């Protein structure tokens, strides 16, 4: 594929008309995508945004003429550079994929083959499609690694997938997609699994390389702020239909639809902080390590005031989840103690009394794995009622219904198993399970990070309402600053197992910041489409100055 | 069909313009798009499973059902008692004795039918017992992953598994005497080592799930975690293993009986029946039906083993989610 026979920028590259895609479940076909049109010009980046289940990934794959197992392309036309992919035989479509259309998947870690080196996987499609010779392809791959600002670009390709970080892996995957110089790249939530500081670097690399080679791209995400940095035009999907289509700047400035506006609503929740000296839980100078390895927590001290929210922030590996494990007793600290209402808690879980266990409940990041797939909502929420409160029969069911109403679900959910609920609904059931114990403290470990913006907002509002009604104390572990702003009174910033900064929200979120807090805060994408450009320029000058 | 399904019907009837209106409404937790999946009753599930079963599995199920029927109603179906002796040994196949009589003059057909009850029944009880021991300890070891208990149990199992099981069973049976109870206990313990291995291995994947951690944080006791949190999630591989183990136990008992230390006379049992009438096979050139007599219990063993394996294969295929 040489550059000469590529069209000019602005020509229509991909035109999908009235696409209908069916998914098979329950012995019949359901429409997942219901007549969506997509027009993409060369060199243009389209953001595809919507909550999960909106059909955005399915539509993205359809742009390659591909339907995943259990789905079928029912009707419509997919004109890619003059040929209709709906009518093209599979063998011809396969020749297109990995040469003229490429795909970057959400989870790079799951998409690489752990048995081969990165560079072998990067150049595989180029060699298979006979676009370049093996030597040329490798040379080009190293150049792409350099363009994507991977460290040590000449040798990083010799490593295996587990030897590089998640953000680096995602960039290698971008290099793999870019290697045949495709006309179109489909990015399917490429940064969703990364934390903010890494996300910025990956976004910047992706945007630069897409611009450099004038490649058209479809960028699928549920984060509007991310898409604002990447896309020229944005398409909002819900229930398989288009809600709104507009270019990025005009959509951000003036969204036409209520639903579009609600997509960035999580950023609109604000909580007024309250100062309190009534400490319910004090983590007092604890060290902790997993058997034999180096310290994961180093002299961590955290004060948790009663009825308020302490947010623990930091990137992955900073020890924030380990702190939660120490508080719950799953990982007894090797030094220091945990004081609950002024009295020390036994360090190990097995030494704690039922009352002590009842008072501290936990909500997990992945509601999927936090609930037994074989139990119904009745069992899941009912068990703490039986176990802690000794409620049985009618009394138990009455309380169960109250809890289900409290989490804004209805009676029809009571006999469902987790697989029959959406992500947000599952997380609500987990909240109800924690509430059922009548706890004083709830530890929320990244409870919203696996959810879409709009669902996040619902969950955060629910948590805030419950706090007001029952005076709950939250320890909120997160890496998302928008969430922190929305829910916390106090903030603890952690880095490499140490508390870097601790204080009221207003103090932490206003300058002057320690270096790390500054990096963390400045990495949070904003709705402004110029944000990334501005940030990169600023960091460059700061670097030059420093 | 319950309300979930009517929801689906509704959803399908909505035209895209209506969806567009619906889509622009505000957010509600209960209205979130979840996985579309309707729940069925147990009976519907069984029926759907049977309808999609391959012919081999249906064949296996039919054979097992017939065996179970004979085992349960042996008393009514057998023309004579299992130990009833006629003064006609090695009688030929005729109207009175359909498959003739054995060396003591007992009706072979009746003994075949009672044998279904004895051999299959004892094998079933033994397998159940092996699963209780092996499964219980295996899950416990997984919960205690790498603790002293896990190491103790796993190494003990390794030691037991190092000794060839048929020979070990022979030694133990001659030590403790070949009563039915001893037979059941000894084979169950020896076979539980295999069950332990698989139960521990599959449980290890479940033990690391957050819901098990949540149960531990709640303060649940070992039995609850084992029984309510882990067991339901490892059932499919265990059930498949049960079928397979049942075959092995069944064959072991038949082999031990053939060697004379299994199920003791006068209890009818297929393994010892093969041994007792084995001599008849030499008469094949004079009387083909007489030579067939030892083949009948052998065929009964073979047919059941094949049938159970067909069913297990199907079940494994289904539970592992493998497609052709």
pLDDT at B95: 75
Mutual orientation of helices A515-522 and A196-212 as an angle, nearest 10°? 50
* Upper half-sphere CA count for residue A543 (Cβ side, 13 Å): 7
Across A377-396, average pLDDT = 92
pLDDT at B312: 85
pLDDT at B6: 39
pLDDT at A293: 67
Mutate to test the interface with A, among B6, B29, B236 (most CBs of A within 10 A): B29
Q: What is the pTM of this model?
A: 0.78
pLDDT at B16: 44
Across B124-137, average pLDDT = 94
**Strand-by-strand arrangement of the A473-478 sheet:** A360-363, A441-445, A473-478, A309-313, A490-495, A498-504
- Which CATH homologous superfamily contains domain A12-264? P-loop containing nucleotide triphosphate hydrolases (3.40.50.300)
Chain B hits for A412, CB-CB cut-off 8 Å, are 3-4, 30
Lowest mean pLDDT among A238-247, A506-515, B22-31, B214-223: B22-31
Tell me the pLDDT tens digit for each residue of B84-118: 777 777 777 777 777 777 777 788 888 888 888 88
Whether B19 and A239 lie within 8 Å, measured CB to CB: yes
Say if the ipTM goes beyond 0.85. Answer: no
> Length of chain B, please?
324
Residues A233, A246: Cα–Cα separation, whole Å: 6
Whether B218 and A383 lie within 8 Å, measured CB to CB: yes
Tokens (6 digits) for B138: 């295996």
DSSP category for residue B85: B
pLDDT at A380: 94
Tokens (6 digits) for B249: 């136990």
Choice between A84 and A384, residue whose per-residue pLDDT is larger: A384
pLDDT at A229: 85
User: In this model, does residue B177 exceed pLDDT 80?
Assistant: yes
Tell me the pLDDT tens digit for each residue of A183-242: 899 998 887 767 777 788 788 888 888 888 888 999 988 777 888 888 889 998 888 888
Mind listing the domains of chain B with CATH numbers?
A: 1-39 (no CATH), 54-320 (1.10.3720.10)
pLDDT at A543: 77
Cis ω on the peptide bond leading into residue A512 (within 30° of 0)? yes
Task: Give A495's strand partners.
Answer: A498
Distance between start and end Cα atoms, chain A: 44
pLDDT interval class at B146 (50, 70, 90): confident
Supply the mean pLDDT for chain A: 85
User: In angstroms, what separates the C-alpha of B37 from chain A's closest C-alpha?
Assistant: 6
Residues A239, B19: Cα–Cα separation, whole Å: 7
B149-153 contacts, C-beta under 8 A, 24 or more apart: B150/B200, B153/B196
Cis ω on the peptide bond leading into residue A219 (within 30° of 0)? no
Q: In terms of CA atoms, which chain A residue is nearest residue B225?
A: A372
Whether A330 and B213 lie within 8 Å, measured CB to CB: yes
Q: Where in the sequence of chain A do the CATH 3.40.50.300 domains occur?
A: 12-264, 279-515
Q: In terms of CA atoms, which chain B residue is nearest residue A365?
A: B210
The H-or-E segment that residue A35 falls in is strand A28-41
Determine what percent of chain A is predicted with pLDDT higher than 90: 23
User: In this model, does residue B11 exceed pLDDT 50?
Assistant: no
Nearby residues of A491 by Cβ (< 8 Å), 6 or more positions away: A310, A311, A313, A484, A501, A502, A503, A504, A505, A508, A509
Neighbours of A2 (CB within 10 A): 7
Cβ of residue A374 closer than 8 Å to a chain B Cβ: yes
Report the residue from B3, B33, B209 with minimal CB separation from A412.
B3
Q: Which of A230, A99, A102, A121 is nearest to A172 (CA)?
A: A121
pLDDT interval class at B33 (50, 70, 90): low
Chain A hits for B29, CB-CB cut-off 8 Å, are 407-409, 424-425, 428, 458, 462
pLDDT at B7: 41
Report the residue from B28, B30, B232 with minimal CB separation from A374.
B232
Distance between start and end Cα atoms, chain B: 31
Q: Are A25 and B36 within 8 A, CB to CB?
A: yes
User: In this model, does residue B21 exceed pLDDT 60?
Assistant: no
Among left, alpha and beta (phi > 0; psi -120 to 50; other), residue B71 is alpha
Residues A204, B120: Cα–Cα separation, whole Å: 69
What is the domain class of A279-515 according to CATH? alpha beta
Q: Which of B117, B60, B63 is nearest to B240 (CA)?
A: B60
Lowest mean pLDDT among A33-47, A418-432, B184-198, B258-272: B258-272
Tell me the pLDDT tens digit for each residue of B60-71: 999 999 999 988
Tokens (6 digits) for B239: 């059930």
pLDDT at B1: 36
User: In this model, does residue B128 exceed pLDDT 90?
Assistant: yes
CA distances from B236 to A363, B139, B309, B320 (A): 29, 15, 15, 8
Residues A372, A380: Cα–Cα separation, whole Å: 8
Give the ranges where A276-392 is alpha helix by DSSP (H).
320-328, 354-359, 367-370, 377-389
pLDDT at A386: 92
Mutate to test the interface with A, among B27, B35, B324 (most CBs of A within 10 A): B27
Query: Is A409 strand, coil or helix?
Result: coil
Whether A416 and B39 lie within 8 Å, measured CB to CB: yes
Chain B hits for A30, CB-CB cut-off 8 Å, are 8, 11-12, 36
Lowest mean pLDDT among A120-134, B244-258, B281-295: B281-295
Tokens (6 digits) for A337: 């103690």
A contact residues 483-522, partner B, Cβ 8 Å cutoff: none
Across A140-168, average pLDDT = 85
Chain B hits for A352, CB-CB cut-off 8 Å, are 219
DSSP category for residue B106: B
Cβ of residue A369 closer than 8 Å to a chain B Cβ: yes
Choice between A255 and A329, residue whose per-residue pLDDT is larger: A329
Whether A262 and B37 lie within 8 Å, measured CB to CB: no
User: In angstroms, what separates the C-alpha of B20 from chain A's closest C-alpha?
Assistant: 6
Q: What is the DSSP string of A196-236?
A: HHHHHHHHHHHHHHHHHTT-EEEEEES-HHHHHHH-SEEEE
Choice between A531 and B321, residue whose per-residue pLDDT is larger: A531
Whether A357 and B219 lie within 8 Å, measured CB to CB: yes
User: In angstroms, what separates the C-alpha of A142 from chain B's closest C-alpha?
Assistant: 39
Whether B26 and A420 lie within 8 Å, measured CB to CB: no
Mutate to test the interface with A, among B41, B47, B211 (most CBs of A within 10 A): B211
Whether A409 and B27 lie within 8 Å, measured CB to CB: no
Residues B74, A176: Cα–Cα separation, whole Å: 69
Q: Which of A313, A342, A420 is nearest to A374 (CA)?
A: A420
pLDDT at A492: 92
Task: Tell me how many residue pairs between chain A and chain B have CB atoms under 8 A apart.
Answer: 132
User: In angstroms, what separates the C-alpha of B50 from chain A's closest C-alpha?
Assistant: 15
Residues A431, A406: Cα–Cα separation, whole Å: 10
Cβ of residue A54 closer than 8 Å to a chain B Cβ: yes
Whether B24 and A30 lie within 8 Å, measured CB to CB: no
Q: Are A345 and A352 within 8 A, CB to CB?
A: yes
User: In this model, does residue A269 exceed pLDDT 50?
Assistant: yes
Residues B321, B324: Cα–Cα separation, whole Å: 10
> Length of chain A, please?
546
Choice between A121 and A71, residue whose per-residue pLDDT is larger: A121
User: In angstroms, what separates the C-alpha of A408 from chain B's closest C-alpha?
Assistant: 6
User: In this model, does residue B323 exceed pLDDT 70?
Assistant: no
Whether A354 and B29 lie within 8 Å, measured CB to CB: no
Q: Which of B106, B128, B120 is nearest to B72 (CA)?
A: B120
Q: Is residue A471 classed exposed, middle or buried when 0-12, 13-18 and 19+ CB atoms within 10 A define those classes?
A: exposed
DSSP category for residue B264: P
Report the residue from A328, A369, A388 with minimal CB separation from B211.
A369
Tokens (6 digits) for A129: 């499609």
Residues A501, A494: Cα–Cα separation, whole Å: 7
Find how far residue A361's CA is from the centre of its chain.
24
User: In this model, does residue A273 exceed pLDDT 50?
Assistant: yes
Q: Are A195 and A315 within 8 A, CB to CB?
A: yes
pLDDT at B20: 47
Q: Are A450 and A484 within 8 A, CB to CB?
A: no
Mutate to test the interface with B, among A268, A269, A292, A372 (most CBs of B within 10 A): A372
Residues A142, A126: Cα–Cα separation, whole Å: 14
pLDDT at A1: 41
Mutate to test the interface with B, among A25, A239, A265, A462 (most CBs of B within 10 A): A239
Give the ranges where A107-221 is alpha helix by DSSP (H).
108-111, 118-128, 134-147, 166-178, 196-212
A contact residues 460-489, partner B, Cβ 8 Å cutoff: 462
Q: In terms of CA atoms, which chain A residue is nearest residue B25?
A: A259
DSSP category for residue B286: T
Report the residue from A238, A388, A422 with minimal CB separation from B34.
A422
Chain A hits for B35, CB-CB cut-off 8 Å, are 25, 419-422
Nearest-Å Rg of the Cα atoms of chain A is 25
Nearby residues of B173 by Cβ (< 8 Å), 6 or more positions away: B182, B183, B186, B256, B261
Q: Are B160 and B99 within 8 A, CB to CB?
A: no
Find how far residue A78's CA is from the centre of its chain.
30
Residues A197, A314: Cα–Cα separation, whole Å: 10
User: In this model, does residue B80 exceed pLDDT 70?
Assistant: yes
User: In this model, does residue A282 exceed pLDDT 80?
Assistant: yes
Cβ of residue A366 closer than 8 Å to a chain B Cβ: yes
Q: Are A123 and A138 within 8 A, CB to CB?
A: yes
pLDDT at B39: 57
Chain A hits for B20, CB-CB cut-off 8 Å, are 241, 243
Residues A310, A319: Cα–Cα separation, whole Å: 15
Q: Are B301 and B254 within 8 A, CB to CB?
A: yes
User: In this model, does residue A357 exceed pLDDT 80?
Assistant: yes
Chain A hits for B214, CB-CB cut-off 8 Å, are 362, 364, 370, 433
pLDDT interval class at A7 (50, 70, 90): low
Residue with tokens 């959910």: A413
Angle A30-A419-A269 (CA atoms, 0-180°, nearest 5)?
A: 95
Residue with tokens 């945007």: A207
Chain B hits for A332, CB-CB cut-off 8 Å, are none
Report the residue from A34, A53, A454 with minimal CB separation from B27.
A454
Choice between A293 and A115, residue whose per-residue pLDDT is larger: A115
User: In angstroms, what separates the C-alpha of B11 from chain A's closest C-alpha?
Assistant: 9
DSSP category for residue A193: T
* Upper half-sphere CA count for residue A392 (Cβ side, 13 Å): 1
CA atoms A104, A109, A111, A117: torsion sign: positive
């Amino acid at each position: 594929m040489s550059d000469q026979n590529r069209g000019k920028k602005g020509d229509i590259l991909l035109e999908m008309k009235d696409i209908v895609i069916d998914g098979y479940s329950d012995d019949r076909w359901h429409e997942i995508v219901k007549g969506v049109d997509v027009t993409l010009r060369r060199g243009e980046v389209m953001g595809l945004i919507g909550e999960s289940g909106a059909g955005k990934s399915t539509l993205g794959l359809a742009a390659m003429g591909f339907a995943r197992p259990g789905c079928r392309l029912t009707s419509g036309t997919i004109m890619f550079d003059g040929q209709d992919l709906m009518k093209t035989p599979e063998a011809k479509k396969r020749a297109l994929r990995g040469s003229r259309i490429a795909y970057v998947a959400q989870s790079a870690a799951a998409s690489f083959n752990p048995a081969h080196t990165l560079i072998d996987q990067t150049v595989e499609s180029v060699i298979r499609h006979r676009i370049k010779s093996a030597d040329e392809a490798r040379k080009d791959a190293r150049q792409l690694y350099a363009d994507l600002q991977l460290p040590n670009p000449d040798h990083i390709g010799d490593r295996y997938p587990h030897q590089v970080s998640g953000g680096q892996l995602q960039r290698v995957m971008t290099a793999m997609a870019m290697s045949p110089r495709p006309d179109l790249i489909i990015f399917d939530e490429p940064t969703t699994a990364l934390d903010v500081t890494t996300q910025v670097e990956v976004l910047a690399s992706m945007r630069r390389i897409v611009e450099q080679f004038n490649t058209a791209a479809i960028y699928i995400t549920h984060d509007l702020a991310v898409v604002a940095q990447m896309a020229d035009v944005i398409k909002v999907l819900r229930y398989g239909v288009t809600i709104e289509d507009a270019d990025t700047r005009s959509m951000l400035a003036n969204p036409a639809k209520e639903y579009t506006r609600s997509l960035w609503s999580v950023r609109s929740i604000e909580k007024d902080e309250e100062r309190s000296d009534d400490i319910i839980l004090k983590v007092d100078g604890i060290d902790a390590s997993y058997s034999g390895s180096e310290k994961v927590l180093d002299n961590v001290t955290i004060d948790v005031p009663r009825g308020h929210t302490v947010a623990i922030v930091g990137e992955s590996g900073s020890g924030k989840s380990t702190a939660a494990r120490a508080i719950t007793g799953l990982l007894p600290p090797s030094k220091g103690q945990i004081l609950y209402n002024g009295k020390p808690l036994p360090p190990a879980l097995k030494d704690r009394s039922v009352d002590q266990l009842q008072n501290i409940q936990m909500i997990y990041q992945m509601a999927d794995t936090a609930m037994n797939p074989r139990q119904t909502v009745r069992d899941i929420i009912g068990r703490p009622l039986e176990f802690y409160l000794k409620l049985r029969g009618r009394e138990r069911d009455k309380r169960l219904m109250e809890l289900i109403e409290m989490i804004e679900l209805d009676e029809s959910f009571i006999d469902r198993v987790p697989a029959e609920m959406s992500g947000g609904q599952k997380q609500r059931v987990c909240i109800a399970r924690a509430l059922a114990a009548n706890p004083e403290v709830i530890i929320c470990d990244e409870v919203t990070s696996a959810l879409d913006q709009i669902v996040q907002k619902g969950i955060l509002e629910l948590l805030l309402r419950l706090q007001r009604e029952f005076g709950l104390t939250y320890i909120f572990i997160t890496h998302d600053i928008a969430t922190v702003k929305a829910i916390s009174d106090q903030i603890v910033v952690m880095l490499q197992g140490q508390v870097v900064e601790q204080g009221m929200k207003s103090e932490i979120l206003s300058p002057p910041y320690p270096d790390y807090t500054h990096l963390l805060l400045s990495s949070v994408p904003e709705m402004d489409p110029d944000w990334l450009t501005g940030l990169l320029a600023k960091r460059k000058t700061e670097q030059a100055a420093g | 069909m319950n309300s979930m399904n009517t929801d689906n019907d509704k959803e399908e009837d909505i035209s895209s313009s209506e969806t567009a209106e619906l889509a622009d409404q505000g957010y509600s937790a209960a209205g979130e798009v979840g996985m579309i999946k309707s729940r069925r009753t147990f009976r519907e599930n069984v029926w759907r499973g049977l309808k999609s079963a391959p012919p081999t599995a249906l064949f296996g199920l039919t054979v097992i059902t017939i065996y179970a029927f004979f085992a349960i109603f042996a008393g009514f179906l057998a023309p004579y008692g299992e130990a009833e002796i006629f003064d006609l040994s090695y009688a030929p196949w005729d109207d009175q004795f359909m498959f003739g009589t054995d060396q003591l003059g007992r009706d072979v057909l009746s003994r075949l039918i009672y044998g279904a009850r004895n051999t299959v029944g004892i094998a079933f009880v033994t397998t159940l017992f092996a699963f209780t021991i092996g499964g219980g300890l295996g899950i416990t070891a997984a919960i205690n992953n790498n603790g002293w208990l896990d190491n103790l149990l796993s190494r003990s199992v390794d030691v037991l598994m190092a000794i060839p099981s048929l020979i070990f069973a022979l030694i133990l049976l001659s030590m403790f005497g070949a009563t039915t109870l001893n037979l059941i206990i000894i084979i169950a313990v020896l076979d539980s080592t295999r069950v332990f291995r698989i139960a521990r291995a599959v449980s290890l994947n479940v033990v690391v799930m957050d819901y098990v951690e949540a149960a531990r944080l709640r303060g649940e006791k070992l039995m609850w975690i084992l029984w309510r949190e882990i067991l339901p999630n490892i059932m499919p591989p265990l059930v498949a293993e049960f079928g397979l183990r049942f075959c092995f136990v069944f064959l072991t008992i038949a082999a031990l009986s053939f060697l004379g230390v299994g199920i003791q006379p006068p209890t009818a049992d297929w393994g010892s029946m093969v041994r007792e009438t084995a001599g008849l096979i030499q008469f094949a050139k004079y009387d083909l039906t007489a030579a067939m007599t030892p083949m009948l219990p052998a065929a009964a063993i073979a047919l059941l083993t094949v049938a159970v394996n067909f069913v297990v294969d199907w079940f494994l295929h289904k539970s592992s989610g493998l497609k052709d």
